[in-house]
Amino acid sequence: MSEAASFNPFVDAQAQFDRLADLMGLDPATRALLRTPAHEHRLTLPVRLDDGTVEVFHGFRVQHNDARGPAWGGVRFHPQETIDTIRALAMWTAWKTAVVDIPLGGSMGGVVCDPHRLSTSEIERICRAWIRRVGRSIGPNRDVPAPDIMTSSQHMTWMLDEYETMHGCRSPGAITGKTLGAGGSLGRLQAAGYGLVYTLREALKELAVEPSTTSASVQGFGTVGQHAIELYTQIGGTVTCVSSWDAVAGHAVSFRKRNGIDLAELRTASDRLGNIQPEKARALGYEELDGDAWLSQEVDILIPAALEDQITTKNVVSINQRVRIVAEGANGPTSAAAETTLIERGVYVLPDLVANAGGVTCSYFEQVQSNMNYYWPLSEVLSKLDRKLTTAFIAVSDLARTKKLSMRDAALVIAIDRVAEQCRERGWL
């Protein structure tokens, strides 16, 4: 499903930055500082498996920039993880925190592993091993990990426990996305999916389209996809198709109900990682389609909420002419060339820098609450999240309209300018 076997997300992220740097007229020193990570950690993690053998896993932590505040970024567990994916995501996270104007920088981490084939106790050992390797390079004032692909609040709580054991103190602000009992925030689980729908709601307003008249197809049934479906259906939309990974078959599968899926029902057919089990879905009356079928559905909105590089020049032609919006719930799911094609067709591309910023925004809220040891009710968290993302969306949309830029380019101009300005104010440039 990638643009090509040689797809390299960091090369793409740097090319994207270089293009915007030309547009903004950035000086050579600013370009050199912002196009490369500030710190990189490559990790070897020896972990004893349940059968008594030891397997050495490989991990990463990349801190791109911390001029605006402590670095922040997810930790993902994936069998195809690479250092270049982590580098790209760290850069994109630096822009994302800046565009929503929260005082954090950008980082990202990961472990090359397949959680589908590991027991709970083995996954816990990997979490603790990862912290033992990076525990002196992270913290509430340096770099704050959070959950990402195939990691959860339980993973973050194990990581926090190991971090606090290393440092001999309680430090709940060192990790975000934790369980509530460990100092997590209400709303953090919903934040990324709800944030996407808050910005989608604003895009629909600009297009003068009522949510209740729209339908959507979603790639991914993890935390982002499920909560995006939840809120989108609450505002009146209908989701007709969802694509999910089939761990047994080793490929994606799409599930369709033309009159609209029932989220609660479909959740009963999924496992702890959000993978929908085909036999259970079929028993509930869902059509089973090819994994890429989510992309060709006759709907108004496409929501890629899985991995990067999912809409490419190879498959963009299969997108139905009815589609009016692509709302990016994943990081970097649309290639630059595919986005150009979509924009030429008149499709509104709602970029990940805004649409996918709910997670980092609520993680910032969680860190504030953890550091204060005072926690807000769910309604307050979601209200603050809505205001923050709506404000960011309006700023990006206004710049896009006045400067005749795409939404992505407008978001990048705002973000890069804010990071560069802080680097100058600190005397780094």
Which of 6-15, 252-261, 312-321 has the lowest average pLDDT?
6-15
Q: What is the mean pLDDT of residues 332-355?
A: 95
Of 217, 216, 270, which is closest to residue 246 (Cα–Cα)?
A: 270
Per-residue pLDDT reduced to its tens digit, 159-187: 999 999 999 999 999 999 999 999 999 99
Give 5's pLDDT tier (boundaries 50, 70, 90).
Answer: low
- The more confidently predicted of residues 382 and 4 is 382
Three-state secondary-structure class, residue 294: helix
On whether the CB atoms of residues 324 and 284 are closer than 8 A, the answer is no
Rounded Cα distance between 219 and 234, Å, is 19
For position 2, what pLDDT does the model report? Answer: 41
Which of 188-192, 249-253, 271-275, 314-318 has the lowest average pLDDT?
271-275
User: What is the number of alpha carbons within 13 Å of residue 239 lying toward its C-beta?
Assistant: 32
For position 6, what pLDDT does the model report? Answer: 66
Q: What is the mean pLDDT of residues 379-393?
A: 97
Give Cα separations from 93 to 106, 146, 167, 360 (angstroms): 5, 12, 27, 8
Give Cα separations from 305 to 196, 221, 300 (angstroms): 10, 8, 16
Per-residue pLDDT reduced to its tens digit, 210-245: 999 999 999 999 889 999 999 999 999 999 999 998
Give Cα separations from 138 to 63, 148, 360, 372 (angstroms): 10, 17, 17, 19
Give yes or no for residue 3 having a pLDDT over 50.
no
User: What is the number of alpha carbons within 13 Å of residue 60 lying toward its C-beta?
Assistant: 28
Rounded Cα distance between 286 and 224, Å, is 21
